Structure 1
Amino acid sequence: MQDKCKWLIVLTLLLTACTESEPETLDERPLEATQGEQVLAPIVPGSGTYSRPTSITVSEAQDFFDQGLRLAWGFYFPESIASYQEAARLDPDNPMPHWGQAHAMGPNPNSRYAMMPDDPQGEGRKAIKRAMKLIENADPLEKEIIRAMYVLYDKAGIPDNHARDRAYLAAMRQLNKTHPDDPDIAALYAAAYMSIGKWDYWDKDGNPKDETLPVAEALEHIIRQNKSHPGVLHLHIHLIEASLEPERALVSADALEATLPIGGHVVHMPAHIYVRVGQYQKAIDSNVRSQEVDKKFAEIWGENHFPNIGTYPLSHKIHSGHALDFIRYSATVQGNYAVAIDAANRVAENIHPEHMISRGQKGTAAVWLVQKIFGKWDDILAMEPAHSNTPYLNGIWAYAKGSAHLGKGDLAAAKAQLTILKGIADAPNADEYRVGATPASAVLRLAAHGLKGEVQMAEGDLAGAIASFESGVAIEDQNNYTEPPDWAQPMRHYLGAALLKAGEVMKAEEVYRRDLRWNQNNGWSLLGMHQALKAQGKLDEAQLYYDKWQEAWVYADTEITGSHL
């Protein structure tokens, strides 16, 4: 209680004190003030219709403000910043375009998740100081919103980053309490909380952490009013996707695209829910459209001003790889090798050189993993992959190559690759480079248990294989949440098959049922479930799962006889 009171006192003092703006130095002048009559952004057809009434007096400036707001909620930040800058050029005395720039330039849940530095060029702080200087031209609610945003940037008043985040969250929580029907305030409140949580809103058992439920209720209060707001729907998807009830955000997933149909990230975002509820073809379709609209966006934007000066650089120029990764993952679950390998290859071919030793590693390795999942042993063994020689890539290559040797009947060669993989996984430099949400060492240990289990299966050691696969499952269950997952093929597919072969059919049923709880309508586990039930004589339920498997496998180009190849 004392901590809570302390926060309220600090917040009250800050919101009162920050009505006085600091003098603007030469380098704090807004870019638009130095551009003369140069137009800083185009109006983008298809950028949605949501409009926030403001104190802006120039109608064209209001149009650009609204576009900037919609693009910010769609996480296309350079385009958003440019739109806000154009609004400020057209109405230089209004503070809201500068508030918008500070919002678009600042931290967000994705930038914090990716561990990017906040406001690296200091432009967001300059923008909110400009808004403070013009604050008397704002209406009363706008003044509250501007002052709240100032708290996020007030390093002088609150030097500690965590304390400043908490103070900003307290400010937005209070604003949401006072104005619960305002969709932008609800979204700002959600973003403030989610930026602190960094995608970690639920525990491994599906229980909400910290302020997750109140934030969800704030967003769902807006959704129940049928207000199609890009920020509310977008953040609701991210907040709910890692829960055990992803269906809770299906309404948001189905409604989001229409709020910003030209924004590739927004068009893609419903897939975060579709893959969680087992609607894999819808996930593929949304990501195909995502790439198409980004190309249209590029044609419209052309060579216009593109201020990549904020915290998070996501834009229509660099989103394609994420969309392709969703296609790769969804097609793999559907049993469609052609679509999966095409998407994986396209990601690998377009990895920026600067990312080869960071997040781009997953794109390189995805090609090998797709081939492994679909049993393309000859293709793997014929490869001489050129890559950045990191522990993660060397380890995943040994994993794929070891499986390929087993597939071709070369047990000795497979065991040699297992030895290599174990050495890499246990080495002190395994986490030298950040690959994804889960540490590379954990992924490599998981791979080592998986390959060891495959080797033991080939040797006829079923008990040993089951133990190895169980160890892999235990690691996989502790992986950090991300979509698509950091591990490409659920280890339960191997554990369930080994249990079936050992005659432990009830345990196999339990394994497949658990996998289907998280990976709904997953064709590989649906077939395994059918086999486990049939082996127990549960013929009616077995037929039900066979029918589900047939439906899930309708897009497949691969025949399977079990839950893995």
Structure 2
Amino acid sequence: MAVTGTNFRLKAALRTLSKDDNKVARSMPKLQNQRGLAGILLALLLPAISDAQEEHHHHQPGEKIGKVTFVVSCSTEAQRQFNRAVAWLHSFEYGESERAFNDVATTDPQCAMAHWGAAMSLYHQLWAPPNPGELEKGARSVQKAKQIGAKTKRERDYIDAIALFFDDWERVDHPTRAARYEQAMEKVYVRYPGDRDAGVFYALALNATALATVPMDKTYAKQKKAAAILNRVLRLEPDHPGVTHYLIHSYDYPPVAHLALAAARRYARIAPSSAHALHMPSHIFTRLGLWDEDIATNIKSENAAKDYAQRNRLKGAWDDQLHAMDYLAYAYLQQARDREARAVLDELKAIRKTDPETFKCAYSFAAIPARWALERRVWSEAAELKVEPVDFPWPRFQWAEAITHFARAIGAARNGDANRARVEVEKLAEVQRQLVGAKDNYDWATQVEIQRRAAEAWLAKAEGKNPEALRLMRSASDLEDSTDKHPVTPGAVLPARELLGDMLLELGRPAEALKEYETSLQTSPNRFGGLYGAGRAAELSNDRKKARGFYLKLTAMCDKADGDRPELVHARKFLAGN
């Protein structure tokens, strides 16, 4: 009975949507100020939404991926499957969503929107641009959707929007096509004010094009616009996975990260069946230095990723496992939980194959070993790092391989080996030159340039060229301040301004060093190196009160420390006497 009732209400709603298509199109310029249609559509759709959501949650026993209702003109069974597919899509579970949309196409071969969804599953907007094989596949899915034919203008608008991304991919660069898609989704959002998912997808598109903006807009205008849209939907659909997910991305920047804390703490509860949903809260926890919460959610995410790989019989570790491990190692190192961080590194070294071989894997393979050496200030280890695994397709990820060159350069220079450091600085310069002008969805060339300047600064110091060293290090810090991290990364391998503080401290200028550490801690709070550096700089500046404050914060943060870091020994000794 429930299925029949739902089917009747969905069809009635669809008839209304179709009937309104032409009227809505004619009145599009007025829609931003006339939201009456939204109320009409919602009143018609809400009964169907309630039943469809309930049925959606019983698709698989124990599956929890949030509540989504995206009305399409397909069969009742296909509608249930479609809602589930969109929920997976909103949590960036692209493999699951693509399979789910293909199931929709099997259930209802005349459901054009099933192929829209398959194409959407190949456009990973905040990750890396699709490769040629994915672009070809996406273009074919769009073509299938058009061949079947949309049943309403609304559906046709969705299909036409994603077509703008996949059409002409061989001739038009990624940023241009991404911008076309964003502009098309804005029109869909404006044209159908009662379609909440139109707003959610538009918000994601805004975040994607903001990421590609060079130089980065530090007012975060697009991200704030996206957040405003999402917060309006949140009040109506608190369990929508895309809303909380994209709020985290919209606020994944130091000045506004605190605004996403509630969303971060909620998202994993909404969609605990998604490894990515379990991981995403740690973006905000990392931004705010909430290491205990960061660790807890990434342990869950890593376990979920391992389960996924086993269930789907992957040929290697799933990339989301490595992604969680990267954040996990970073958080452990901030709390000086070095044995646990080492366990993550050992687990990483045991992974010889990933499925798929993505940029998340490349970043994790490079960043985890680099952080292990650099955060513990074991410069000799950093200087000896290797690019591993050797059979990973590193030429596709030069910006990730640059992390190893950066760590080697810093390690060698701070260990007094200028010749070795110079080799790595030259390699960084070569990588940076190759990345300039790349039509990517992120400006990796600038990130490598920051690393090159910082590495060259420490090389200059190793050669006794202190004024040149400080000039370069300040230049690296200022350049880093003008950018933002890629959404996948926890942050810079080492913050440039923290490195500037280190340099000033070593040059006997503690008062200046203290200012740099304090500035760095504003954007990277509760970092071990920042807190210790600030404490030591204050101590050497004879500001014992401030030194005590930083050391107290450091030792409290490291109450689970399991290593023998000399910095903690010094901080505890100072506190015992002050």
Which TM-score applies when normalising by structure 2? 0.72
**1:120: which partner in 2?**
135
Change (3 A) 1:429 1:512: closer
- The alignment partner of 1:265 has SS state of helix
In the TM superposition, 1:33-72 aligns within 5 A as 43=60, 45-52=62-69, 54-55=71-72, 58-72=75-89
**1:559: which partner in 2?**
565
**1:296: which partner in 2?**
307
Structure 2 distance, partners of 1:162, 1:396, is 28
**1:455: which partner in 2?**
462
In the TM superposition, 1:127-142 aligns within 5 A as 127=142, 129-130=144-145, 133-136=148-151, 141-142=154-155
Q: 2:409 aligns with which of 382, 399, 409?
A: 399
In the TM superposition, 1:465-484 aligns within 5 A as 466-467=470-471, 469-478=473-482, 481-482=485-486, 483-484=488-489
In the TM superposition, 1:156-235 aligns within 5 A as 165-180=178-193, 182-198=195-211, 200=213, 203=216, 206-209=218-221, 211-225=222-236, 227-235=238-246
Q: 1:255-292 CA deviation, whole Å, 9 max, x = no partner?
A: 11123211111211111111111112222221111111
- The alignment partner of 1:319 has SS state of helix
**1:549: which partner in 2?**
554
Kindly state the Cα deviation for residue 142 of structure 1 after the two structures are TM-superposed: 4.5
Structure having the higher helix fraction is 2
1:92 lines up with 2:109 in the alignment: yes
Contact 2:459 2:469 (8 Å CA) reproduced:
yes
**1:270: which partner in 2?**
281
**1:417: which partner in 2?**
420
Change (3 A) 1:220 1:345: same
RMSD: 4.4
Contact 1:466 1:495 (8 Å CA) reproduced:
yes
1:522 alignment partner AA: R
Structure 2 distance, partners of 1:182, 1:125, is 26
1:431 lines up with 2:434 in the alignment: yes
Change (3 A) 1:502 1:302: closer
Q: 1:40-84 CA deviation, whole Å, 9 max, x = no partner?
A: xx9473242413153566554333222211111111222211111
- The alignment partner of 1:234 has SS state of helix
Change (3 A) 1:181 1:342: farther
Change (3 A) 1:217 1:503: same
Structure 1 distance, partners of 2:306, 2:94, is 17
1:288 alignment partner AA: I
Change (3 A) 1:44 1:265: farther
Contact 1:263 1:316 (8 Å CA) reproduced:
no
Please, which runs of 5 or more residues in structure 1 have no aligned partner? Answer: 1-10, 16-41, 307-314
Greater RCO, CA 8 A, separation 6+: 1
In the TM superposition, 1:202-351 aligns within 5 A as 203=216, 206-209=218-221, 211-225=222-236, 227-301=238-312, 317-350=318-351
Q: 1:528 aligns with which of 526, 533, 540?
A: 533
Q: 1:463-484 CA deviation, whole Å, 9 max, x = no partner?
A: 6654454344345445652243
Kindly state the Cα deviation for residue 220 of structure 1 after the two structures are TM-superposed: 1.7
Kindly state the Cα deviation for residue 103 of structure 1 after the two structures are TM-superposed: 2.5
Change (3 A) 1:522 1:161: closer
Structure 2 distance, partners of 1:129, 1:384, is 46
Q: 1:480-524 CA deviation, whole Å, 9 max, x = no partner?
A: 522435741224334324434555443222111111111012232
Kindly state the Cα deviation for residue 528 of structure 1 after the two structures are TM-superposed: 2.6
1:67 alignment partner AA: R
1:367 lines up with 2:369 in the alignment: yes
Kindly state the Cα deviation for residue 86 of structure 1 after the two structures are TM-superposed: 1.3
**2:46: which partner in 1?**
none
Structure 2 distance, partners of 1:159, 1:492, is 38
Instruction: Give the aligned length.
Output: 501
Contact 2:385 2:404 (8 Å CA) reproduced:
no
Q: 1:109 aligns with which of 118, 121, 125?
A: 125
**1:7: which partner in 2?**
none
Q: 1:132-158 CA deviation, whole Å, 9 max, x = no partner?
A: 63433x5x75455445445555659x9
Q: 1:171-212 CA deviation, whole Å, 9 max, x = no partner?
A: 4223323545643111111233333334549947x3124x33
Contact 2:241 2:270 (8 Å CA) reproduced:
yes
**1:310: which partner in 2?**
none
Structure 1 distance, partners of 2:359, 2:485, is 21
Structure 2 distance, partners of 1:361, 1:53, is 35
Kindly state the Cα deviation for residue 423 of structure 1 after the two structures are TM-superposed: 3.6
Contact 1:401 1:417 (8 Å CA) reproduced:
no
Report % sequence identity. Answer: 19
2:319 alignment partner AA: I
Kindly state the Cα deviation for residue 238 of structure 1 after the two structures are TM-superposed: 1.6
Kindly state the Cα deviation for residue 429 of structure 1 after the two structures are TM-superposed: 8.0
In the TM superposition, 1:507-518 aligns within 5 A as 507-518=512-523
Contact 1:230 1:260 (8 Å CA) reproduced:
yes
Structure 2 distance, partners of 1:282, 1:437, is 30
Contact 1:61 1:90 (8 Å CA) reproduced:
yes
**1:446: which partner in 2?**
453
Change (3 A) 1:199 1:347: farther
